[in-house]
Amino acid sequence: MDKVLRVSAVSRGFAFLLLWLAGVACFAVPPLSQKGFDGPAELPRVYLKTAMADTPTPGHVLRVRPSESLQQAVDQAKCGDILMLEPGAVYSGTVQFPAKNCDDGHWILLRTGVADDKLPREGSRMTPCYGGVVGLPARPALHCTTVSNVLAKMEFDGKGGSGPILFMNGANHYRFTGLEIRRGNPGAPMTALASAKENASAHHIIFDRVWMHGTAEDETARGVAFTEIAFGALVDSYLNDFHCIAVSGACTDAQAVGSGGGVAAQGPYKIVNNFLEASGENILFGGKPAEVTPTDIEIRRNHLFKPMTWMKDQPGYVGGTSGHPFIVKNHFEVKNAQRVLFEGNLLENVWGGFSQTGFSILLTPKNQANKCPLCKVTDITVRYNRVRNVGSVLQLANALSDAGGASTAGERYSIHDLVADGVHQQDYQGFGIFALILSNKPQMRDVSIDHNTVFVPNLLISILDKTEKLANFTIANNIFSAPREPKIASAGGGPGNCAYHPEGQGPGGVFKSCFENSTFTHNLILGGQGSWPPGNFLVKDMGDAGIREDYRLCRKADASASCKRASLGLAAGRDGKDIGADMEEIETALQGVE
């Protein structure tokens, strides 16, 4: 079996027969997923329970008036108490949350003092509607059923630094519900609205149905910084306006939520059902010197968003007070984490022009400043997500630090049921590709890219690897559309790069040179030409492949322009399933996310 299937030249039945024979002859059928694993990646071992019923507060209800000291009320609160703050009132200043001898049966709750039915029901997302705001420019519509100012407001009133929430060493079992957490004074750069104090660690911290935000033109680098915090959760919340300013600013990397370096245990984490907006990375794990790796991270049903008005020369452009734009990087980046589930998220709008080129998802272990040799990115499951309006989709990079140090590992990735479209090149200052794979040290291995549907304007995969071959890759059952030939090609580096093929050997030659013990099969490749690994479908376009405009496979010919035939991908996967992403599962996972 030494030829790629050119389905336009053979009957559909004969093509399926040849495809089946190719799979039997050349590739072993993958085993069923083990319990707790999705492909090569191990799923999180621990999932946090964050329902109100799981964080009991059997103590006293203490009402705190705006004229009273919130700090004093927190200091005097006992485990199990509820601190009721006045709706619509502003509580200014930084509150330091001390260590108390609390346990899982006695949490301390800070909340607005309205009845539960005045807030989104538990499990539903907070919006600025509850802070009296009908809508925010250039963001998705809030669809307010009612607009009422029922959130108590914790406001940082300093001239820089972090606040209004600061966890002292040993702080534990604090929950925040129905609050607007914000900065007050404009002008000075801020580090984080909620974080642990420097050199302190905390645990069992939950942010539930909060609206947390910076201001439109100032530098507010982070919303929730989970660095040095274990058992942390952000659920059903709305975070916006976290950004750093190019050229004139004091910071370079803004996130809505994430965890950096540190020495204390970090994880498990739960980041579920939030609107998350930041100019740098909407979510980042790693990026600083560390002695631990955050573990067991659940990230589901979030809308990761950057307003297009942050792009220079766009109508309604908004940048810093200096006029310089915000530094835009990526949606989701992991530099140091293990056992991450990234599921059912919508990732929207990212572009290049700064130190990045508009990739949406990055899995990039980094020995930051050569002070994190144990940093690793392992066991990452990315499934049932949608990416749209980006410069490029995916970057996998095992690279040395700027100081020349290697990280521990970048391996065991399972990426499946991802839909990516609206990928741009020149107008988003990006590469316009699906995947950029850079491998130096350590060796990148054990990666599955399976059942995805991807439409990009440039290359499919770009590779730069001058050391060991990429090992144990499975790239199967995908729908790929990328117009540039040879679609799988070099990312530079000259003859030392495995993908360097000046004689034009095509994708098959690159795959043979760069991968070992790996599989590229049962993919439906639109516009595919040249020499490909055996067992793939090469088709002219969506109509030839029987793919509808919504990326579902045609079940039969009908009168619509997009279904002139039953799809070639029906039940044609290596596993007997339809080729491409499972659109029904993705729609179910994303229901209510936008």
Q: What is the pLDDT of residues 520-568, one digit of tens each?
A: 999 999 998 888 999 999 999 999 999 999 999 999 877 666 788 899 9
Residue reference for tokens 């795959």: 511
Q: Which residues contact 332 (CB under 8 A, 6 or more apart)?
A: 281, 282, 283, 284, 299, 304, 342, 345, 347, 360, 361, 362
Residue 121 scores a pLDDT above 90: yes
The pLDDT of 236-258, averaged and rounded, is 96
Counting every residue written for the chain, the total comes to: 594
Least confident stretch, 31-35, 395-399, 441-445, 540-544: 31-35
| Dist. CA 557–CA 132, nearest whole Å | 51
Note the pLDDT of residue 18. Answer: 33
Pairing of strands 337-343, 281-285: unpaired
For all residues of the chain together, what is the average pLDDT? Answer: 92
Number of domains in the chain: 1
Residue type for position 322: S
Residue 116 within any structural domain of the chain:
yes
Residue 506 within any structural domain of the chain:
no
191 closest CA partner among 168, 167, 239, 159? 159
Q: What is the pLDDT of residues 290-317, one digit of tens each?
A: 999 999 999 999 999 999 999 999 999 9
The pLDDT of 335-363, averaged and rounded, is 96
Q: Which residues contact 299 (CB under 8 A, 6 or more apart)?
A: 269, 271, 272, 283, 332, 340, 341, 342, 343, 345
The pLDDT of 371-376, averaged and rounded, is 91
Q: Which residues contact 532 (CB under 8 A, 6 or more apart)?
A: 4, 506, 507, 508, 520, 525, 538
Backbone φ and ψ of 163, nearest 5°: 155, 170
Q: Which residues contact 431 (CB under 8 A, 6 or more apart)?
A: 357, 358, 391, 392, 425, 458, 459, 462
pLDDT band at 370 (very low <50, low <70, confident <90, very high): confident
Quote helix, strand, coil % in the chain, to nearest 5. 10, 35, 50
50 closest CA partner among 282, 211, 233? 233
**Better-scored residue on pLDDT, 154 or 10:** 154
The helix/strand/coil state of 590 is helix
Please, which residues bridge with residue 350 across strands?
390
Least confident stretch, 31-35, 69-73, 315-319: 31-35
| Dist. CA 89–CA 288, nearest whole Å | 37
Residue 5 scores a pLDDT above 70: no
Residue 167 within any structural domain of the chain:
yes
| Dist. CA 591–CA 80, nearest whole Å | 35
Q: Is cis: bond before 87, omega within 30 of 0?
A: no
Least confident stretch, 6-20, 180-194, 390-404, 476-490: 6-20
- For the chain, the farthest-separated pair of C-alpha atoms sits apart, in whole angstroms, at 80
The pLDDT of 96-118, averaged and rounded, is 97
| Dist. CA 541–CA 345, nearest whole Å | 28
Least confident stretch, 3-12, 221-230, 322-331, 505-514: 3-12
Residue 247 within any structural domain of the chain:
yes
The pLDDT of 427-448, averaged and rounded, is 95
The helix/strand/coil state of 494 is helix
Residue 33 scores a pLDDT above 60: no
pTM of the complete model: 0.94
Q: Which domain holds residue 106?
A: 75-252
Note the pLDDT of residue 171. Answer: 98
The pLDDT of 443-466, averaged and rounded, is 97
Note the pLDDT of residue 20. Answer: 32
| Dist. CA 276–CA 294, nearest whole Å | 20
pLDDT band at 402 (very low <50, low <70, confident <90, very high): confident
Least confident stretch, 14-18, 45-49, 424-428: 14-18
Residue 355 within any structural domain of the chain:
no
Which two three-digit tokens encode residue 135?
């809508």
pLDDT band at 34 (very low <50, low <70, confident <90, very high): low
Q: What is the pLDDT of residues 215-234, one digit of tens each?
A: 999 999 999 999 999 999 99
From residue 304, how far is each of 1, 283, 312, 334, 460 by CA, in Å? Answer: 44, 8, 20, 15, 24
pLDDT band at 416 (very low <50, low <70, confident <90, very high): very high
Residue 1 scores a pLDDT above 60: no
Residue 96 within any structural domain of the chain:
yes
- The answer to whether residues 210 and 126 touch, using CB atoms and an 8 Å cutoff, is yes
From residue 330, how far is each of 220, 301, 317, 390, 420 by CA, in Å? Answer: 17, 18, 19, 9, 15
Which two three-digit tokens encode residue 497?
């790069």
Name the percent of the chain lying above pLDDT 90.
83
- The answer to whether residues 402 and 372 touch, using CB atoms and an 8 Å cutoff, is no
Residue 198 within any structural domain of the chain:
yes
Note the pLDDT of residue 504. Answer: 66
Residue 324 within any structural domain of the chain:
no
Residue 573 scores a pLDDT above 60: yes
Backbone φ and ψ of 61, nearest 5°: -100, 120
Pairing of strands 238-240, 275-277: parallel
**Better-scored residue on pLDDT, 580 or 34:** 580
